[in-house]
Amino acid sequence: MLGVTVLEVPQWQGSGSRGAYRLRQGASALVGLFPAGQRVRVDTDGQPADSRDGVAALDTLAANLSAVRAAHANARARGRTVVTVGGDCGVDLAPIEAAVAAHGDRLTVVWFDAHGDLNTPASSPSGAFHGMVLRALLGDGPRELAPAKALRPDQVVLAGVRALDLGERAFVAEHRIRHVAAAGLANPSVLVDEVAATGAGCVYLHIDLDVLDPEVFGAVGTPEPGGLTLEQLITAVRDLASRFTIAGLCLAEYEPQDDGDREVLTGLSAALASVMDDDAADGTAQEVERLAARA
C-alpha cells in the first residue's frame, strides 16, 4: 500500500474484556498482515491503571491519546493515508478526530461493530472506554478524551450493531442515528444508500472485529451472535469504496486465540488493503474472494 502508513496501537486498557491483555498481541499480528509502505508502532503505556471519573484507566488512555495524535499527525504531514490497527476501539478517537478536521461536513463514519459504543461514564456498566468511544466522538465523553471537534449524529451510520444498552438505544432514537442491522447488510445497497443520505463525500471505516458472527470469527472479547459473515463485511467495504472516498480506516479488538484466526484475518486485511490501494494485485483480489466464499 504505497502512500499508506499503518499505525499499530497496542492499547488494551480501554477494554473491559477478561482477555484484554491479548489485544497487544492482536495489534502486532494484525499490522503484519498489511503490505504497508510504512509501519509505525505507537509507544503506548502498557501498564494497568486506576479508574477515575467513571472511566477505567483514564489517565493512561489520555496519555495514549496524545501519543496516537502525534503519530497520526506525523504521517499525515507527509501526505500519507493512515490505517489504524488496535488494540481496543478507543485507539480510533484520534484518527477520526483527524478525519473530521480534514473533511468536515463531507465526512461520514461507518461504525462496523456489534456494539454501539455510545455509553457515557455515567451510563457505562463497566467503565470501559471502548464502550464509550463513539459517544465521546459525538462530544459527550470525559474531558481528557474529548475530540477537538465533535461529530454530529447525522455523520454516523451504525452497521451490524446488535447489542445496545437501554441508554444507548434511547440516544440512537433521540438523535435519529442511522442504523443498518446485520440482517440489512445482506443487501449491500442498503448501507450505501444510508451513507449517501448523510450527504457524505468521504467515509471513514471503523471495524471492530466483533461485528463478525462468532461462528465466523470468535477471537474477540465481547462476541455477539447474529453478526456478519466475512463475505458480507468485505462486500460492504468494497461497495462503500466504489461510491465514496475512503478517508481512513481502523481495525480493532483482536484477541488472538489460535492459528485458525489468521485465515479470516488474512482475507479481511487483503480486502482492506485493496480498498486503500487501487493497484492491488489481481491475485490478492482472488484470494479475498476464495476466503470470503469459505466463511
Q: What is the pLDDT along the chain (295 residues), one digit of tens a residue?
A: 668 899 999 999 999 999 999 999 999 999 999 876 689 999 998 888 899 999 999 999 999 999 999 999 999 988 888 999 999 999 999 999 999 999 999 999 999 999 999 999 999 999 999 999 999 999 999 999 999 999 999 999 999 999 999 999 999 999 999 999 999 999 989 999 999 999 999 999 999 999 999 999 999 999 999 999 999 999 999 999 999 999 999 999 999 988 778 899 999 999 999 888 753 333 334 434 444 555 5
The x, y and z cell numbers of residue 214, run together, are 462468532
Contact between 44 and 62 under an 8 Å Cβ cutoff? The reply is no
Q: Which residues pair with 52 in a beta bridge?
A: 55
Contact between 250 and 88 under an 8 Å Cβ cutoff? The reply is no
Contact between 75 and 68 under an 8 Å Cβ cutoff? The reply is no
User: Edge-to-edge strands of the sheet including 81-86?
Assistant: 38-41, 4-9, 81-86, 245-252, 202-208, 107-112, 156-159, 178-180
What's the rounded Cα separation, in Å, for the pair 166 and 177? 15
Burial of 287 by CB count in 10 Å (0-12 exposed, 13-18 middle, 19+ buried)? middle
What's the rounded Cα separation, in Å, for the pair 132 and 120? 6
For CA atoms 238, 90, 86, 38, the dihedral sign is: positive
Q: How far apart are the first and last CA of the chain?
A: 25
**Beta strand pairing call for 38-41 and 81-86:** unpaired
> DSSP assignment, residue 152?
P
